[in-house]
């Protein structure tokens, strides 16, 4: 009785979070701007209800009973894993006073207004007090959550459980050692031509083609849909309804296409979770309070990056699919062959803006932010010195001068919304994608499929080793089971080296 009753109660938490996600999807796609204030309140209310339902005495009573009932099952059984996760989530939320959660939410909405104005006016000093307050609040948060070595570890826990400043240091060092020489060598070479990608491509045809490709990779539109938004995202309301959005851009055609493939990669993680986990804690982020099944933000990002970059920007993919693209855009792509297209979509161009950066330079934007965030949190970097530290790293990594803070330390929305600790998952996702794809390709069915534009075996491999498990295993357990080892940057560095050596003739 205890275990099933606990599951039913956790199902209600998932329902509340899914309802909140639906309000969020609507707010970002359909809602008229006037709805913003009341919608924010509705979403906050649902989240508070979900949290309170989770930590309520009744849940704890059911959890005690469920633990007693399942005590004789193996420790790694689904039942005991769920009990452990619910216990951990309750402990986590009870360590953070409701008053602190409330203060963070309030600061987030105020902070974004100030940040938007400061960015528009290129006025870092106007934003500095918001950042100062955000850091203080996050330090308080870290003390409540608890950590062994570095307060930043506590802040990453919500997004990338188990990751620490100490574990990121060797990872980043390996990436810098592997990728900086590559970047320098590319800098000496002639860039591929890209002019044809800047032509206007009709928006409706772009969307149609992108969705066809997403379907081909495995995105199930019977349980999903694609809409247009300014900022692309993926969002799910159980595995049975997983939606994505993209933007189409008049000046840079790859944005809409690869944005779609990226979000479709996220979506498949949710769509192919084990149906038995639906509405359970294994498909619910009980720490961050989101109805998502991926085991960490990094693991989630591994699936989006894998389908967007490792598959979608590969030479093999365009040798096989370029004909379809040219049929859709015969005038825009007149005179352009598959090889030219493939080189163009992989152009490396160090830039100042993270969200516009290419596959090779992206991780440098992330390393810069993670190092700076950790130093801001432990106080070794003062807010007033942030722009200087930022600009120095930009110069060191990408060789660029930062002409204004608008294009530097003021560019991201994250800090103004009160969030610290979210950046590392992008790079972890890239590294995981490298590992998983290298391993998947050693499977004959997968490699034969890739060579014949049949992506079902690859999707099935990912489902077998990643998607279906939802939150059952930790990220490291998932990687060990799938590839035989924990997070390892070697396959990712090898992949980038091989790809760019071919493109740039290194």
Q: Name the site residues for Zn ion (rule: CB under 5 A).
A: 304
CB nearer to Zn ion: pick between 304 and 361: 304
Instruction: Extract the tokens encoding 396.
Output: 């060191």
- Shortest separation between residue 294's beta carbon and Zn ion, angstroms: 10
CB nearer to Zn ion: pick between 246 and 304: 304
Phi and psi torsions of 299, nearest 5°: -60, -40
**Catalytic (active-site) positions:** 263
Q: Closest-CB residue for Zn ion?
A: 304
CB nearer to Zn ion: pick between 9 and 369: 369
CB nearer to Zn ion: pick between 154 and 267: 267
CB nearer to Zn ion: pick between 284 and 302: 302
- Shortest separation between residue 400's beta carbon and Zn ion, angstroms: 24
Select from 345, 354, 462 the least CA-distant residue to 414.
354
Burial class (CB in 10 A: 0-12, 13-18, 19+), 340: middle
CB nearer to Zn ion: pick between 21 and 304: 304
CB 189 within 8 A of CB 506: yes
CB 134 within 8 A of CB 111: yes
- Shortest separation between residue 55's beta carbon and Zn ion, angstroms: 30
CA dist., res. 369 & res. 383, Å (int)? 13
Phi and psi torsions of 21, nearest 5°: -65, -35
Strand, coil or helix: 227:
strand
Instruction: Extract the tokens encoding 230.
Output: 């300014």
CB nearer to Zn ion: pick between 322 and 423: 423
- Shortest separation between residue 266's beta carbon and Zn ion, angstroms: 6
Q: Which residues of 474-497 are buried (b: 16+ CB within 10 A; e: fewer)?
A: ebbebbeebbeeebbbebbbebbb
Q: How far is CA 237 from CA 12, 116, 301, 483, in A?
A: 13, 31, 19, 30
Terminal Cα distance for the chain, rounded:
65
Q: What is the DSSP code string of 275-287?
A: GGGTTSGGGSBTT
User: What's the DSSP call for residue 290?
Assistant: B
CA dist., res. 196 & res. 343, Å (int)? 12
Task: Give me the half-sphere count of Cα atoms (radius 13 Å) on the Cβ side of residue 450.
Answer: 22
- Shortest separation between residue 259's beta carbon and Zn ion, angstroms: 10
Q: How far is CA 403 from CA 122, 242, 251, 406, in A?
A: 10, 41, 24, 9
Beta strand spans in 180-306 (E): 226-228, 234-236, 242-246
Determine which helix (DSSP H) or strand (DSSP E) holds 142, and give its type and residue range.
helix 124-145
What crossing angle do the helices spanning 165-187 and 490-504 adopt, rounded to 10°?
Answer: 10
CB nearer to Zn ion: pick between 134 and 304: 304
């Amino acid at each position: 009785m205890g275990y099933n009753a606990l599951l039913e109660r956790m199902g209600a938490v998932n329902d509340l979070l899914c309802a909140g996600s639906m309000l969020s999807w609507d707010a970002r796609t359909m809602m008229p701007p006037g709805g913003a204030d009341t919608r924010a309140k509705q979403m906050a209310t649902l989240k508070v209800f979900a949290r309170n339902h989770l930590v309520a005495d009744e849940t704890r009573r059911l959890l005690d009973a469920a633990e007693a009932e399942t005590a004789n099952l193996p420790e790694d059984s689904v039942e005991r894993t769920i009990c452990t996760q619910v216990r951990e989530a309750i402990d986590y939320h009870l360590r953070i006073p409701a008053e602190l959660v409330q203060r963070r939410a309030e600061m987030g909405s105020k902070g974004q207004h100030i940040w938007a104005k400061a960015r528009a006016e290129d006025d870092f000093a106007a934003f500095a007090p918001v950042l100062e307050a955000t850091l203080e609040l996050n330090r308080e948060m870290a003390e409540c959550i608890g950590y062994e070595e570095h307060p930043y570890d506590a802040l990453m826990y919500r997004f990338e459980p188990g990751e620490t400043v100490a574990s990121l240091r060797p990872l980043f060092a390996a990436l810098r050692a592997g990728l900086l020489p590559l970047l320098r060598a590319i800098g000496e070479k002639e860039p591929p031509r890209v002019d044809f990608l800047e032509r206007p491509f009709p928006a409706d045809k772009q969307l149609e083609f992108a969705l066809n490709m997403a379907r081909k990779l495995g995105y199930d539109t019977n349980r999903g849909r694609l809409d247009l938004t300014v900022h692309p995202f993926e969002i799910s309301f159980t595995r049975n309804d997983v939606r994505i959005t993209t933007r189409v851009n008049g000046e840079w055609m790859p944005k809409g296409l690869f944005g779609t493939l990226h979000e479709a990669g996220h979506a498949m993680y949710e769509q192919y979770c084990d149906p038995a986990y639906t509405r359970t804690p294994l498909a619910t982020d009980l720490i961050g309070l989101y109805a998502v099944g991926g085991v960490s933000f990094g693991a989630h990002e591994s699936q989006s990056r894998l389908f967007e970059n490792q598959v979608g920007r590969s030479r093999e993919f365009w040798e096989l699919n370029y004909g379809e693209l040219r049929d859709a855009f015969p005038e825009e792509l007149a005179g352009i062959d598959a090889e030219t297209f493939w080189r163009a979509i992989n152009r490396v161009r160090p830039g100042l803006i993270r969200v516009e950066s290419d596959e090779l330079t992206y991780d440098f934007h992330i390393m810069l932010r993670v190092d700076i965030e950790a130093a801001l949190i432990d106080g070794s970097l003062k807010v007033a010195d942030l722009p200087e530290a930022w600009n120095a790293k930009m110069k060191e990594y990408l060789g660029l001068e930062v002409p204004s803070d608008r294009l530097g330390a003021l560019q991201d929305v994250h800090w103004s919304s009160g969030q610290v600790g979210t950046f590392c998952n992008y790079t972890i996702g890239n590294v995981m994608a490298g590992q998983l794809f290298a391993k998947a390709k050693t499977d004959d069915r997968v490699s034969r499929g890739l060579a014949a534009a049949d992506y079902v075996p690859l999707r099935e491999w990912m489902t077998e080793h990643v998607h279906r498990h939802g939150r059952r295993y930790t990220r490291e357990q998932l990687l060990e089971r799938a590839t035989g080892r924990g997070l390892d940057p070697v396959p990712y560095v090898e992949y980038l080296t091989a790809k760019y050596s071919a493109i740039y003739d290194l």
